[in-house]
């Protein structure tokens, strides 16, 4: 059975001191939640400090992005070599990176670099509103998957996050059934690119205005293995509730309820 993952993407929020305060306040409550892997992805500036703070914790740490080269003349960039001893995960291809920083063409190189350095990539894919409205969702997602996994023969423990761009930060969201059906198609595409076993094992998250009010609707779906949480991950009680509800649903599934 795939272990659910709840990943908090802090985006460009929280200073180092604010990050310490937030993590200090949530570590113990989150560690009491069983059967769910919990991940936080703070800004680069907080990674080193939080890595020390979480080193004896079950809470995982991830970066929000990275360059595909391990060093060189890339002013302002951070390489996999710089984060590999701090992070277990890295987000790649987030819609904001694709929109503002042209990351569509770099996702493949970044995934290869992450795998090479033993960092688990969380590949984000998703369609724009106009693509959704014109019935091109599946076409867009399949193209993104093909581009991202080009010449990658073993995707290992990679995580995929389906984040419909029209739902991010908009207050809009897909229904649980809609997200489940789309993620089912994503899993079928993985099967065609690799094999059924790989598709069955890969964890696929939903991301896009995930809240404490709607998390149950998503994680009770059979194809959805957790959530990539944005703004709600900055609110300790809400993030804890999201993880707790996911744990409850997962426990029911394991017990056949």
Per-residue pLDDT tens for 22-53? 999 999 999 999 999 999 999 999 999 999 99
pLDDT at site 1: 80
Mean pLDDT of 10-26: 97
Q: Has 67 been annotated as catalytic? A: no
Per-residue pLDDT tens for 64-121? 999 999 999 999 999 999 999 999 999 999 999 988 898 888 999 999 999 999 999 9
Q: What is the percentage of the chain residues whose pLDDT exceeds 90?
A: 87
Mean pLDDT of 215-228: 97
Distance (Å, rounded) from C-alpha 119 to C-alpha 257? 35
State the total domains in the chain: 1
Mean pLDDT lowest among 12-16, 106-110, 128-132, 246-250:
128-132
8 is written with which tokens? 């908090």
Sequence-distant (6+) residues with CB within 8 A of 232 are 8, 210, 211, 212, 238, 239, 242
> Among residues 94, 96, 127, 217, which one is catalytic?
94
**Mean per-residue pLDDT over the chain, rounded:** 95
pLDDT at site 149: 97
> Among residues 96, 127, 163, 217, which one is catalytic?
163
Angstrom distances, CA of residue 165 to CA of 63, 130, 205, 217, 256: 20, 10, 14, 19, 34
30 is written with which tokens? 């989150």
| Domain extent at residue 137 | 5-254
Q: Has 163 been annotated as catalytic? A: yes
pLDDT at site 256: 67
Instruction: Please state the pTM of the whole predicted model.
Output: 0.96
Per-residue pLDDT tens for 145-190? 999 999 999 998 999 999 998 887 776 778 999 999 999 999 999 9
pLDDT at site 253: 80
Q: How many CA atoms lie within 13 A of 57 on its CB side?
A: 24
pLDDT at site 4: 98
Distance (Å, rounded) from C-alpha 113 to C-alpha 110? 5
Distance (Å, rounded) from C-alpha 227 to C-alpha 215? 8
CATH of the domain at 169: 3.20.20.70
Run of H or E including 16: helix 16-31
**How deeply is 130 buried, as exposed, middle or buried, from its count of CB atoms within 10 A (0-12, 13-18, 19+)?**
exposed
pLDDT at site 244: 97
* C-beta of residue 151 within 8 angstroms of C-beta of residue 115: no
């Amino acid at each position: 059975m795939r272990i659910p993952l709840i990943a908090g993407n802090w985006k460009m929020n929280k200073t180092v001191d604010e990050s310490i305060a937030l993590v200090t306040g949530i570590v113990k409550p989150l560690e009491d939640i069983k059967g769910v892997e919990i991940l936080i992805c703070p800004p680069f500036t907080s990674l080193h400090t939080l890595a020390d703070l979480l080193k004896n914790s079950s809470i995982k740490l991830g970066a929000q992005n990275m360059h595909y080269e391990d060093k060189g003349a890339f002013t302002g960039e951070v390489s996999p070599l710089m984060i590999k001893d701090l992070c277990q995960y890295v987000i790649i291809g987030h819609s904001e990176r694709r929109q503002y920083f042209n990351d569509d063409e770099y996702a493949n190189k970044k995934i290869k670099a992450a795998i090479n350095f033993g960092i688990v990539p969380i590949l984000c894919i998703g369609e724009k509103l106009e693509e959704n409205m014109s019935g091109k969702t599946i076409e867009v997602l399949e193209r993104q998957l093909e581009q991202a996994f080009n010449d990658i023969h073993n995707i290992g423990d990679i995580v995929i996050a389906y984040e419909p761009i029209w739902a991010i930060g908009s207050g809009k969201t897909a229904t649980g059934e809609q997200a489940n059906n789309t993620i089912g198609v994503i899993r079928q595409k993985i099967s065609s690119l690799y094999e059924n076993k790989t598709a069955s094992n890969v964890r696929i998250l939903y991301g896009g205005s995930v809240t404490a009010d709607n998390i149950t609707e998503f994680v009770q779906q059979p194809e959805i293995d957790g959530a990539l949480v944005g703004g709600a991950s900055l609110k300790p009680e809400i993030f804890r509730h999201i993880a707790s509800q996911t744990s409850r649903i997962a426990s029911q599934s394991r017990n056949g309820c």
